[in-house]
Amino acid sequence: MPARSKNKQNWQGRKLKSDGPKVRSDVANPQMGANGTDVHTQYSTTDNKEVSVTSLTEGGIYKLYNDQSIEIIAGQKSSSTGIDIVISGRNGDVCITAEKNGRVRIRAQNVMIEADEDIDLKAGRNITLDSGSGKILLKANKADCDALTGNLPPEGSTFGEQCFAGTYVGADKTRPAFGGGVPSIG
């Protein structure tokens, strides 16, 4: 953390206010932080030492830290066609991270993901699309499948079919064994 010389620290402008043993407000703290000095910091604690801090730095970063959950609820009395919560990154990314085996869950009657350009889904292991009793529809000008096994790769492209290509072992044996689908008819 960068240090600030004593002659540039304005301790006279600082206002520290305590509203009992659990809430403290700190305005214009001249101590240098990672993003400049703090304009305002609100510090609260529970009997169990659970801490909540909100802060605004001179660098313009608003911080919200909480030891337990954060709950945002809106729209109890709004119209059903309105938007109740907006999270917007005007000139940068919006990152949501769940650490320590957490999940990011989105639940609604309908979910729409929309991008002006690309949507990339990347998983370290599996991606499962399950429509229950409905259907899955893929619409595109071009759709490719690059896989070594399964019932989706084009005939002749699975790992086993490529290994046995040009041998006396035919597609009637390789497709069910390596493709996971129905044997080819031709």
Q: Which helix (H) or strand (E) holds 18?
A: strand 15-18
Contact between residue 96 and residue 106 where contact means Cβ atoms under 8 Å apart = no
- Of 80, 41, 85, nearest to 63 by C-alpha is 41
Alpha-carbon distance 16 to 25, whole Å? 6
Q: Would you state the pLDDT for residue 83?
A: 85
Token pair for 164: 């046995």
Burial of 159 (0-12, 13-18, 19+ CB in 10 A): middle
For the chain, residues with pLDDT lower than 50 are 181-186
Q: Would you state the pLDDT for residue 100?
A: 85
Q: Would you state the pLDDT for residue 181?
A: 47
Q: Which amino acid is at 136?
A: I
pTM, to two decimals: 0.60
Q: Which helix (H) or strand (E) holds 43?
A: strand 36-45
Q: Would you state the pLDDT for residue 7?
A: 66
Each residue of 154-172: pLDDT tens digit? 776 667 777 777 887 777 7
Token pair for 142: 């071009």
So where are the chain's domains?
6-66, 145-181
Q: Would you state the pLDDT for residue 53?
A: 95
